[in-house]
């Protein structure tokens, strides 16, 4: 997975565990597409200070994920749900019983809410 996307997802999951500045700078850099210079100018600090804060925040995000594994679990759950949905679709196509079709459709709707 591309680092930019990974950091953005980690920030959504663990952002509240960072300092206010770390969260703000990472959010601006990765989600709002601001450059280090723009963030520095907006906060009246040096570009290097912004970079250091972002790097420390990134390190914390990756440490949280290593210990808690929410993102990994989330992606694994999504894969498993998609596999179940695929199997339900196969069953639905192969069997024409109206009641079975209705039950399967209801199950698919519930699973789609989880993805």
Q: What is the pLDDT along the chain (115 residues), one digit of tens a residue?
A: 799 999 999 999 999 999 999 999 999 999 999 999 999 999 999 999 999 999 999 999 999 999 999 999 999 998 988 888 888 888 777 777 777 877 788 888 888 887 6
C-alpha 40/C-alpha 14 separation (Å) is: 23
Cβ–Cβ < 8 Å for 96, 46: no
pLDDT at 14: 97
DSSP 1-16: --HHHHHHHHHHHHGG
pTM summary value: 0.76
């Amino acid at each position: 997975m591309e680092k930019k996307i990974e950091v953005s997802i980690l920030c959504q999951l663990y952002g509240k565990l960072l300092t206010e500045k770390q969260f703000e700078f990472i959010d601006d850099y990765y989600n709002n597409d601001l450059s280090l210079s723009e963030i520095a100018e907006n906060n009246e600090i040096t570009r290097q200070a912004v970079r250091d804060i972002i790097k420390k925040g990134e390190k914390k995000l990756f440490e949280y994920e290593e210990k808690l594994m929410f993102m990994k679990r989330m992606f694994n759950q999504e894969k498993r749900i998609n596999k179940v949905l695929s199997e339900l679709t196969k069953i639905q196509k192969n069997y024409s019983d109206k009641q079975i079709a209705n039950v399967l459709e209801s199950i698919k709707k519930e699973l789609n809410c989880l993805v």
